[in-house]
């Protein structure tokens, strides 16, 4: 019986799925079994996964389209029930060759560790990739201490101790990564090694896509706050700043109030300067810093819009899954 069960939800991921699976083929630790659940893809995703049957211990399940969160849960439930660890693996992430070996070693070294995450970072060579990687680097380092301990997990590339999931109910109506982190972190250690970095191929390559990415983050964060109101963080407020400042500048321009335009523009400039100061230790040349700052602002405009929309929407009834099988 393999020690690691890999759960991979797939939906129209033909473009990057082969890269993710090639990454698993190169792993130095091959003591794993992979379960791929295809969420009713309309492309050749399932066929791509099945083509790796002679190179990986893989089971491919074709299902009707139900949504990513439900499919991720289904992949966990369908994975090897006796495996000691569960690796949640998104289909657009390519792990470094020693990722599984290192994750298992960290879990073996300390029984109090419930999860080990890799950093899913944008590929700098792709369009807008270096700018996104720049602010992702900053966000990651702001969440982890010098001992690589974190308050959260990276849901697309995290290995979990199956026994730590006993009794936990995974929600499918909100961001399952944050929800799971909040349930685990008061009882266990969550590890996020600084140098364990995976290539995230599925990040947006257009400005509209980057805005949409921030928008989805805003929706998820606001939904989480409804369920876990005590875990509201100051960083969330910081991401909301650009939207009201821009609204103030627009109102000032329409009402011919230069003081309002100038004041809001000054605060927005100070906000941008604060980001540049906070990112002073992030590696990158001037072009990378400017691109990263611009994309950070754009993403936060999207975040604020999503946050506001979710705040104005009517909460849905809570949906709960069954606890993951613990073997």
For 94, residues 6+ apart whose C-beta sits below 8 A from its C-beta are 16, 19, 20, 22, 23, 198, 199, 201
Q: What is the pLDDT of residue 326?
A: 34
**Please, are residues 106 and 182 in contact by the beta-carbon 8 Å criterion?**
no
Strand order from edge to edge, sheet including 189-191: 58-63, 32-39, 4-10, 85-89, 157-161, 113-117, 189-191, 149-150
**Please, are residues 202 and 90 in contact by the beta-carbon 8 Å criterion?**
yes
Reported as a single tens digit per residue, the pLDDT across 26-42 is 999 999 999 999 999 99
DSSP string, 265-323: HHHHHHHHHHHHHHTTTS---HHHHHHHHHHHHHHHHHHHHHHHHHHHSPPPPP-BPPP
Q: What is the pLDDT of residue 175?
A: 58
Q: What is the pLDDT of residue 170?
A: 64
DSSP H or E segment with residue 199: strand 197-200
Nearest to 152 by CA among 183, 173, 120: 183
Q: What is the pLDDT of residue 73?
A: 76
Nearest to 119 by CA among 93, 86, 98: 93
pTM: 0.86
Strand partners, 199: 94, 121
Q: For the chain, which residues score pLDDT lower than 70?
A: 170-176, 229-235, 314-327
């Amino acid at each position: 019986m393999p020690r690691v069960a890999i759960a991979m939800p797939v939906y129209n991921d033909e473009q990057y799925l082969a890269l993710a699976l090639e990454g698993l083929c190169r792993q130095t630790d091959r003591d794993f079994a992979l379960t791929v659940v295809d969420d009713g893809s309309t492309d050749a995703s399932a066929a791509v996964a099945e083509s790796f049957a002679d190179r990986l211990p893989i089971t491919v399940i074709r299902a009707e389209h139900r949504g990513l969160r439900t499919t991720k849960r289904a992949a966990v439930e369908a994975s090897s029930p006796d495996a000691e660890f569960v690796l949640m693996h998104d289909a657009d992430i390519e792990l470094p060759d020693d990722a599984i070996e290192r994750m298992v070693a960290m879990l073996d070294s300390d029984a109090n560790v419930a999860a080990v995450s890799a950093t899913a970072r944008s590929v700098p060579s792709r369009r807008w990739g270096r700018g996104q990687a720049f602010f992702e680097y900053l966000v990651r380092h702001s969440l982890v201490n010098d001992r690589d301990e974190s308050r959260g997990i990276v849901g697309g590339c995290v290995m979990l101790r199956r026994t730590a999931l006993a009794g936990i109910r995974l929600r499918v109506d909100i961001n399952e990564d944050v929800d799971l982190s909040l349930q685990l972190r008061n009882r266990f250690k969550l590890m996020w090694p600084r140098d364990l970095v995976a290539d995230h191929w599925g990040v947006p390559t257009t400005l509209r896509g980057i805005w949409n990415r921030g928008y989805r983050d805003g929706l998820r964060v606001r939904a989480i706050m409804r369920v876990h109101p005590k875990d509201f963080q100051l960083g969330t407020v910081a991401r909301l700043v650009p939207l009201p400042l821009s609204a103030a500048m627009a109102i000032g321009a329409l009402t011919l109030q230069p003081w309002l335009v100038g004041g809001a523009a000054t605060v927005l400039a100070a906000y941008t300067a604060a980001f540049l100061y906070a990112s002073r230790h992030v590696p990158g040349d001037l072009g990378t810093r400017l691109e990263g700052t611009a994309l950070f602002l754009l993403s936060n405009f999207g975040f604020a819009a999503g946050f506001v929309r979710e705040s104005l929407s009517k909460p849905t009834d809570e949906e709960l899954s069954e606890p993951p099988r613990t073997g």
